[in-house]
Structure 1
Amino acid sequence: MEKEFNFHHQFLLHRLLLFSLLLFPVLINSTTTTTSIQHEQSEIISRFQQYLRINTAQPSPDYEKSTQFLLTQAEFLSLESQVVEFVKGKPLVILKWPGSDLSLPSILLNSHTDVVPAEHSKWVHPPLGANIDEQGNIFARGSQDMKCVGMQYLEAIRKLKSYGFQPKRSLYLTFVPDEEIGGHDGVEKFAHSDVFKSMNVDIVLDEGLASPNENYRLFYAERTPWWLVIKSTGAPGHGAKLYDNSAMENLFKSIEIIRRFRASQFDLVKAGLKAEGDIISVNMASLKAGTPSPTGFVMNLQPSEAEAGFDIRVPPTANVESLEKRLAEEWAPASRNMSFEFKQKGTTVDYLGRPLITATDSSNPWWTLLEEAIKKANGKVGKPEIFPAATDSRYFRQVGLPAIGFSPMANTPVLLHDHNEFLNQGEYLKGNDVYVSIIEAYASYTPPGRDSLPRDEL
């Protein structure tokens, strides 16, 4: 009996040893794979942090340093590179991944290198530190707007190249200056240049917004900025005197009329009847009046002039003629000694007079491809939106190109231009995979029937 027990005991030990020897390489391989993935992700986050730490805040962005960083990335990825300056000291970096079929129009992935300034004392982490907290949130100015997207383009290309992917269409990446101050020395000039025309672009992807829920946000249009200054004049008078049509009284009448219009538009958003990008927004940005003195303002003198500035945002779906009539007849009528001027008045139509809207139906294959690519990467897509502010996309739409705004940031509070702007590293890494899917789909797209045409007809 004892011999039989020893035999079975030795047999079990032998089987256990054999099983361990078979399992050991699997465990080692699994550990090695996990370590390799962690190392790769660490490097990806590190590159993002490097870009965030370059101070490209307006009004004095360090474009020289950001340009060198981007050119280094391009060299490592074997991308063609070009730097152009439409205005001295404001470089626009163009990177190219050539396609295998140069007869096909190209894809453009656009991002801006500049960011808005930050009030350092109001941040829990330094705005240029790119610090990561215990929850994995990366705090930095530009983490959402929009250095994240620019780096996601590059990381997606890095991964696709490692897979051996070869695009059919040429892929361009542009890193542009001055978007945060209007883009007038950047994309506005670029979109009308011979350099841009030679790129033969068919579709542009640009920035979007973070989404507080699980659905990514896609933008097919944006509101146009109208920066308006209303002026009022009247005879000066004693501070104790009551009389009609003083400069201040007339201006306050206009402010009250505009306030009621603003409230009516805002009520539509509050009631859920319209999204923020669908309404005309008006916000008073400045107020100037009074007679200055060495000790402040003269309190017993009613001023002869007063003015107020307003930031108006107009969607391409708005009736512009009706708004202009309202402005001339109600907001600043000449009958009340009022006048107005625009510091900036953007257009809502392209060069052919068409609304600056990118189609979101089957007539636009790029929209369908984008939605499918996001879903393929396990992302969810929300309802198409009009971007509530202005981006460089408007300049591409003005020359007749479709442009879509998209920043892959789900489950993230909207913090662009806010204190403590951050993006979670997990969301950033997911965004890289989403752009892998998008670039693969876009760069491989061939219009239906094109492959069946004779070569001399292509």
Structure 2
Amino acid sequence: MKLRRDASFGFLLLLCFCWEVCAIGPEDLERNPAVQRFRTYLRIPTVQPEPDYAQAIEYLTGQAKELGLPTKIFEFVPKKPILLMTWKGSSKEKLQSVILNSHMDVVEVEEDKWKYPPFEAHMDEEGNIYARGSQDMKVVGMMYLEAIRILKAEGWAPVRDIHVLWVPDEEVAGIDGWGKFYSSKEFEELNAAIVLDEGHISYNNTYIVNNGEKAMWWLVIQGTGETGHGSIYFDNSASENMFKSLASINAFRDSQVALVSSGERLPEEVVVVNSVYLKSGSPTPEGYTMNIQPSVVEAGFDVRVPPVEGLGPFLTKRIAEEWAPKSRNMTFYFKVKTETQTGEIPITTADDTNPWWYLLRTAVSKFNATLSPQIANGASDSRYARMGGVNALGITTIQNVPFLIHSHNEVMNGYEFLKGINVTTEIVRLYGSFSGSPQTSRSVL
């Protein structure tokens, strides 16, 4: 039986919308369907290093079925599924699509440091939901789905395809997720114009939008030399050579910190170099042998390179000549190195010459908010989209929640979550309604 859209039905529909995205007290949050769907997703332990992707895919596929969204699952690497939901657009002109991206995995937890169990999604009397992934980034993925739920209930439909993408392993560099996906025929067939991804918790009614990010270089330096007794000096030992490298690296690091401290550069404009491990010595059951100088020393560094033209080749040369020179029996390699074939680091234009930026700005302005573009210090899946020549903007439409990404007691407020759904709904509406054919925007600072 087909329902007639008369005035009374419209009023009832409006009441349904209000129930989904509004709440005035803790009891309302407990009964709110959108909040409860979010909490259910948070309880799925997709925690590295052994995320339960199967349970997440089962839950999300069920949500897609409720929404009438066809799904596909890709596995470029066994047990690392990528789930694609598609809302077909009405246009016959083969308009480029919109991708709403989120990753399913979350980082490890130290449960004894948490106020509540991290996969219980406990909600306190103020509506604070404590769970790993509540900020990074299960909240974003669920806001996408709730926005689609609202738009479908309104009877709205997009002119261009909208894809909701759920990917694995972002928290471990995304190599087996977007790293395989962005160069595949499956990605090419989506004909994407824009990828929306995670951003930053915002304050003061200004949404921080990541239009680029520092390149992630996970650098490993190794030194070798003759072994010898711990009581004598001899030249060119592995440890001696590594200490020289560490001195050079720390001097460079200090120069970058000084540029920020003096105000000459913003944090997103300098190279970040942090030592993450140092490995050497001859292990014993009790520790290490104290009277043997090691023949091999290895150190790892998390290096983040801002998208400044020519900086990548400059830094590579410095590593080869100063940090790990062959003359000191040193070698180096990268576990991860983000760059295009030309060595450039692409960013997305963040002004009104890019229609996707304009539409995003227009959407948030309806909530009296503004946008602030930022080059992210951390890495996200957006870099793969940009390396594939596609616009990518990272925004989390959440405000006034303490920034606790990767921290103990990660939390999301239920009321802010519902507000964020409203903003996300307007973004999806404007992106899906846009019938123009923008050129892909890429640039390099």
Could you tell me the TM-score, scaled by structure 1's length?
0.85
1:364 aligns with 2:354: yes
* Equivalent in the alignment of 1:433: 422
1:393 aligns with 2:382: yes
Using the alignment, how far apart are the partners of 2:418 and 2:44 within structure 1?
Answer: 21
Which of these residues, 400, 417, 422, is aligned with residue 411 of structure 1? 400
Change (3 A) 1:302 1:381: same
1:377 aligns with 2:403: no
Using the alignment, how far apart are the partners of 1:164 and 1:142 within structure 2?
Answer: 31
Larger Rg: 1
Which of these residues, 311, 332, 347, is aligned with residue 340 of structure 1? 332
Amino acid in the other structure paired with 2:368: N
Map Cα deviations across residues 288-312 of structure 1 (whole Å, 9 max, x no partner). 1222334432222322322211111
* Equivalent in the alignment of 1:302: 293
Change (3 A) 1:206 1:331: same
Q: How does 1:47-58 map to 2 (within 5 A)?
A: 47-58=37-48
Change (3 A) 1:213 1:302: farther
Q: How does 1:203-242 map to 2 (within 5 A)?
A: 203-211=194-202, 213-242=204-233
Q: How does 1:6-21 map to 2 (within 5 A)?
A: none
SS at match of 2:253: helix
Change (3 A) 1:132 1:241: same
* Equivalent in the alignment of 1:127: 118
SS at match of 1:231: strand
Change (3 A) 1:194 1:343: closer
Using the alignment, how far apart are the partners of 1:352 and 1:246 within structure 2?
Answer: 37
The answer (yes or no) to whether the contact 1:102–1:169 under 8 Å persists in 2 is no
Change (3 A) 1:268 1:106: same
The answer (yes or no) to whether the contact 1:211–1:413 under 8 Å persists in 2 is no
**Count of paired positions:** 416
Using the alignment, how far apart are the partners of 2:255 and 2:181 within structure 1?
Answer: 38
Change (3 A) 1:445 1:354: farther
The answer (yes or no) to whether the contact 2:17–2:150 under 8 Å persists in 1 is no
* Equivalent in the alignment of 2:316: 324
* Equivalent in the alignment of 1:8: none
Per-residue deviation at 1:113?
A: 0.9
SS at match of 2:32: helix
Structure 1 gaps of 5+ residues are 1-30, 450-458
Per-residue deviation at 1:192?
A: 2.3
Amino acid in the other structure paired with 2:101: N
Map Cα deviations across residues 161-188 of structure 1 (whole Å, 9 max, x no partner). 2222121112110111121222222222
The answer (yes or no) to whether the contact 1:377–1:437 under 8 Å persists in 2 is no
Instruction: Tell which deviates more after alignment, 334-343 or 72-81.
Output: 334-343
Q: Please give the root-mean-square deviation of Cα atoms over the aligned residues, in Å.
A: 2.4
* Identity of matched residues, %: 47
Using the alignment, how far apart are the partners of 2:152 and 2:368 within structure 1?
Answer: 21
Using the alignment, how far apart are the partners of 2:214 and 2:18 within structure 1?
Answer: 46
Change (3 A) 1:443 1:58: same
* Equivalent in the alignment of 1:18: none
Using the alignment, how far apart are the partners of 1:261 and 1:274 within structure 2?
Answer: 15
SS at match of 2:278: strand
Using the alignment, how far apart are the partners of 2:301 and 2:295 within structure 1?
Answer: 21
Using the alignment, how far apart are the partners of 1:249 and 1:194 within structure 2?
Answer: 49
Using the alignment, how far apart are the partners of 1:446 and 1:201 within structure 2?
Answer: 14
SS at match of 1:299: coil
Per-residue deviation at 1:403?
A: 0.6
Change (3 A) 1:195 1:46: same
* Equivalent in the alignment of 1:21: none
1:189 aligns with 2:171: no
Change (3 A) 1:295 1:247: same
Using the alignment, how far apart are the partners of 2:424 and 2:130 within structure 1?
Answer: 22
Structure 2 gaps of 5+ residues are 1-14, 439-445
Using the alignment, how far apart are the partners of 1:283 and 1:304 within structure 2?
Answer: 24
Instruction: Tell which deviates more after alignment, 419-428 or 439-448.
Output: 439-448
Using the alignment, how far apart are the partners of 1:353 and 1:325 within structure 2?
Answer: 13
